[in-house]
Amino acid sequence: MSLLDLAVQHVKGHAAANSTAFSPGTSDISRNFGIWLIALGGCILLAALSFSYVDVPLADHIAPLSRHIRKSGVGVGSNPVMLAEAGTVLLLAIIRLVFNRIPSLARTLALACLCSMLAYAFNSFVLKTAFGVPNPSHVLKGAQHAFHWFDGTRDDSFPSGHMALSTAFAVIFMTTYPRAVWLISAGLLVIAILLLLGNWHFLSDLIIGSFVGSSVGLYAARLRTARHRRQKVEASSLPPS
């Protein structure tokens, strides 16, 4: 066998390994998509039950408490959060340009911020405007708790933008640091409880908002894993120096 034949075989083998590392098999994709569809169906069912039987009675029941929570100034608007995340990404990008590298934690933080902003933008400018569900304060003042299809605004209630951005951010750290899953989950639970008790959102808003954020975060984490796998294959195929 000639040197040319050996070189061709090496290139073909490298390309095949690269493709396998970067692109999951069809069965793997189908299985993950099936799991996602099952999770989507479960969330839709829970949200539908909450929308029909829980949302308004619960909001009405906790209305006195929510007024005290709102007066205390506990809530944080989404705009300051988005501004902080955008500023963080910009700062990390500048550090990367200046020093030609950033720590692993900083890369995770940048990805989490980007996923959070993406989830919030899709949730607020696409889903909220499509569903058009008034927020709890408007419903308790007489607005109809119903879908007003394609007649909503980003200030409407369903799904929760706060939960979408928080969950997307959290999922990136959960997949990077599995040992911190319970601690991060506890933080998400605190956020959800505050949003609920403050009557900023209905329970159904939180369910679907969490699903939106989880979907964005998990997909980004999957792409990152595939990229790392490809880089390892490329590094292992390099000839020793």
Our count of domains for the chain comes to 1
Range of the domain at 188: 24-234
pLDDT tens per residue, range 153-206: 988 999 999 999 999 999 999 999 999 999 999 999 999 999 999 999 999 999
Flag whether pLDDT at 15 surpasses 60: no
Confidence of residue 224 (pLDDT cuts 50, 70, 90): confident
The answer to the question of residue 240 being in a domain is: no
What is the per-residue DSSP string for the chain? Answer: --HHHHHHHHHHHHHHHHHHHHS--HHHHHHHHHHHHHHHHHHHHHHHHHHHHTHHHHHHHTHHHHHHHHHTT----HHHHHHHHHHHHHHHHHHHHHHS---HHHHHHHHHHHHHHHHHHHIIIIIHHHH-PPPHHHHHTT---S--TT---TTS-SS-HHHHHHHHHHHHHHHH-GGGHHHHHHHHHHHHHHHHHTTSS-HHHHHHHHHHHHHHHHHHHHHHHHHHHHHHHHHHHSPP-
Its pTM stands at: 0.82
Indicate whether 11 belongs to any domain: no
Per-residue pLDDT of 138-157, as tens digits, reads 999 999 999 999 999 988 99
Give 17's pLDDT tier (boundaries 50, 70, 90).
Answer: very low
Task: Kindly report the CATH number assigned to the domain that includes residue 175.
Answer: 1.20.144
